[in-house]
Structure 1
Amino acid sequence: MTITIKNAADIEGMRVAGRLTSEVLDMLVEHVKPGVTTDQLDKICHDYIVYEQKAIPAPLNYAPNGYKPYPKSICASINHQVCHGIPNDRPLKNGDIVNLDITVIKDGWHGDSSRMFIVGEGSIAAKRLCAITYEAMWKGIQKVKPGARLGDIGHAIQTFAENQGFSIVREFCGHGIGRGFHEEPQVMHYGRPGTMEELVPGMVFTIEPMINAGRREIKELGDGWTIVTKDRSLSAQWEHTVAVTETGYEILTTSAGCPPPPAFITA
């Protein structure tokens, strides 16, 4: 495995791409409401990224080995969809939860982030799942520092989520990122402390736990991309791009409208 270590100039380029990514999510807040389709959200994002930010939406026509090209500029995963949901013409309805996953390429660097949006008035259970998933991501981020190991991140996320009665999707993980959309290392959201690669300054990767209200088993739909929970239980995901610094971590996907860290981080 070759993990690309980023220098100060590389990190600065990734900060820009990360901020643009987060600003797309900020911009979406006013658009996510009952009656809007994810196709409409996709077009809003595409035009904003291309014409306002003068950047590139990374998912559009992305085709890793064994996959047909992804047909849209964002991923939109609703309710029991875990990840890689393809935007379509179905209107969002009151109570839906939707993960919007944005990746922007600016000057060759990738920024990758996703947020949960609750459409209209969500149920107590849906709100709790989204909130716990957000905290789980931060439990993982909190472990990032030189000398820690990737297994420490996964263990922190897994134990927190499972103690809340939820399950962790294991087939998909965080990933290194930089000039490539998906680089080494793979960042599991479960695991044992003290295992896997040691973190060193200049490593950049995403932490993006997918957490299910029911069982962890998933399946792929016939479109070749969309992943859903087998038991049709709700699934949530949050994602940040994180750099390992000399003293800890830096979140690269931040912006003015970014949700604040949970209290256990700010304390």
Structure 2
Amino acid sequence: MLELKTPQEIAAMRVTGTFIAELLDDLAGRVRPGMNLLDLEQRARDLIAQRGAESCYWDYSPSFGRGPFRNVICLSVNDAVLHGMPHDYVLQDGDLLSMDIAVSINGWVADSARSLIVGTPRPEDVRLIEATEQALVAGIAAARPGNRLGDISAAIGAVAADYGYPVNTEFGGHGIGRTMHEDPHVSNRGRAGRGLVLRPGLTLALEPWFARGTDKIVYDPDGWTIRSADGSRTAHSEHTIAVTEDEALVLTSLEPVVAPARQSSPR
């Protein structure tokens, strides 16, 4: 069941989204070789508590997980891309880290993710992260009233195809608002002109994620952490947005969201 939000409710979600953007900026500024994932988890807990926010991840127990999730942020390294459970791991120079978090403030939720390189970058990792960022911007640009849900999915998938990355459709974006996961599901690949007609007040979390070499996934023994089946590196970008009468409003960014400049590169 879809719930369209009023301008006042979207403004409340923007408060949550602003906090998430600030939290991710804080964590990104601390990431360096030698940093333990558990220290990032603790910092996220501290910031959430200081703000009086509520984690949407703590005790989350969907059908695909193994028991309740007992962390407030997902931290996924290298070939891990989604639902990475923070654990005793010290980040190494050149690691690719994806951070994903959702919180609620005064009953309104926002969700965001970003990927970054720890220390010395590899060109292929820079390109992979760039692809997810460009795909996210393309999806946001397609989120206009009168368009269809498939237009968003097609826009995201077209960027993946341009970069030569396969797309997994088991996990993607979703509706969001009073809870972390609402209808509809937003695939990262689809056909333009198909699906739900987008209307002002629809709030979505768009989250393109790609692996360099495969669209297949495997799970860690923890039952949560999702990795590329071939061990290739992965990246993940996500924003919470609201469809308006004009262009989509990005609720989880402190700056305007624009596509990073790039030159065509071989696949």
Q: TM-score, normalised by structure 2?
A: 0.94
Given that 2:134 and 2:260 are in contact with CA atoms closer than 8 Å, whether structure 1 keeps it comes out as: no
CA distance in 2: counterparts of 1:240 and 1:31, whole angstroms: 21
Q: CA offset at residue 65 of structure 1?
A: 3.7
Q: CA offset at residue 117 of structure 1?
A: 1.4
Q: Percent identity at matched positions?
A: 38
Residues 114-193 of structure 1 aligned to structure 2 (within 5 Å): 114-193=113-192
Given that 1:241 and 1:252 are in contact with CA atoms closer than 8 Å, whether structure 2 keeps it comes out as: yes
Q: RMSD across aligned C-alpha pairs, in angstroms?
A: 1.3
Q: Which residue of 1 aligns with 2:216?
A: 217
Given that 2:38 and 2:88 are in contact with CA atoms closer than 8 Å, whether structure 1 keeps it comes out as: yes
Deviations 1:34-67 (A, max 9, x none): 011111100001101112x111121111112453
Q: Which residue of 1 aligns with 2:259?
A: 262
Q: CA offset at residue 259 of structure 1?
A: 7.9
Q: CA offset at residue 260 of structure 1?
A: 4.8
CA distance in 1: counterparts of 2:38 and 2:116, whole angstroms: 16
Q: Which residue of 2 aligns with 1:61?
A: 59
CA distance in 1: counterparts of 2:260 and 2:158, whole angstroms: 19
Deviations 1:176-197 (A, max 9, x none): 0011110001111101000111
Which 4+ stretches in 1 moved above 4 angstroms? none
Deviations 1:78-134 (A, max 9, x none): 110020000011100000011100112100111100111110011111111111111
CA distance in 2: counterparts of 1:65 and 1:226, whole angstroms: 14
Residues 1-267 of structure 1 aligned to structure 2 (within 5 Å): 2-51=1-50, 53-65=51-63, 67=65, 68-255=67-254, 258=255, 260-262=257-259
Given that 1:166 and 1:212 are in contact with CA atoms closer than 8 Å, whether structure 2 keeps it comes out as: yes
CA distance in 2: counterparts of 1:110 and 1:28, whole angstroms: 20
Given that 1:50 and 1:57 are in contact with CA atoms closer than 8 Å, whether structure 2 keeps it comes out as: no
Q: TM-score, normalised by structure 1?
A: 0.94
CA distance in 1: counterparts of 2:189 and 2:260, whole angstroms: 23
CA distance in 1: counterparts of 2:73 and 2:54, whole angstroms: 11
AA at the equivalent of 2:143: V
Number of aligned residues = 260
Secondary structure, aligned partner of 1:168: coil
Secondary structure, aligned partner of 2:142: coil
